[in-house]
Amino acid sequence: MMNIRFLGLFAIALFGFAAQASEQVHSEAVIVEWQAPDCSSYTSYKRCRNAVKTEYRRMRQQEMKSQGLSFWYYERPSYEGDSQKALKDEVSGMLTIAFDVEKDGTTSNVKVTAVSSEEAKVYGETLVNAITQWTFVPLDNKVEGVTWRTELFFEEEACKDKPKEGVEKRNVTPINIVKIIKTQHMLGFVFLTNKLGVIFLLSGHWYWKGLNR
């Protein structure tokens, strides 16, 4: 009986701790205005997202170097549970994470300080967990108030079925595929027939010349 009661109290305490930790992640987060980057110059949103992330990472790493910070280990966010579902549902948003870097290179006081919407807060815990794993080259002094921004954006529904400029959109159906295969086979047959005909004519010509010698 005591064991059951102890387990019950432990579960309640654990749940309370998890809720408190989750609340702490967003306790100082403020809602800020944000607009998704313009991807009109890119051939796909995937390339646009990769370019935006790469450019921001390069810029922030240069800025961090001016503070004496150099990455030793960079952990990528692992979206699971609610954050994974939000990605599938294409919930866009921007989050700013603040943290300190201790003298041994580990991060501390990791928290979300700004977010573009209430819906985007779902990514906060995942990003905090990732940055908590970051490690920098050991320092002489602790660095406080370092920030990192993450943007998540997706292609608008109105643009998904819109063909690119100058590119004709074709519907490939099973019937079209059969036509393509038949056409290719016919061209191959004609080519082969013409080739055999040329060989036949040349052979006849050579045979006729041999008889007249």
DSSP labels, 153-179: ----HHHHTSPPTT-------HHHHHH
In this predicted structure, the answer to whether residue 133 has a pLDDT above a threshold of 90 is yes
Please report the pLDDT score of residue 135 as a whole number. Answer: 98
Top-confidence residue, 28 or 102: 102
Residues 52, 93, single domain; the answer is yes
Residues 184, 141, single domain; the answer is no
Please report the pLDDT score of residue 180 as a whole number. Answer: 47
In this predicted structure, the answer to whether residue 89 has a pLDDT above a threshold of 60 is yes
Structure confidence at residue 11 as a pLDDT band (50, 70, 90): very low
Nearest residue to 131 (alpha-carbon basis) of 168, 106, 156 = 106
Average pLDDT of the segment spanning 126-152: 97
Structural domain range at position 186: 171-213
Domain annotation covers residue 15: no
Domain annotation covers residue 10: no
How many domains are there within the chain? 2
Top-confidence residue, 68 or 156: 68
The model scores a pTM over 0.75 = no
Instruction: Quickly list H helices, the chain.
Output: 2-26, 45-66, 82-88, 124-132, 157-160, 174-211
Per-chain mean pLDDT for the chain: 77
Please report the pLDDT score of residue 167 as a whole number. Answer: 44
Cα maximum dimension of the chain:
118
Domain annotation covers residue 88: yes
Residues 149, 202, single domain; the answer is no
Place of tokens 């080259």: 137
In this predicted structure, the answer to whether residue 92 has a pLDDT above a threshold of 60 is yes
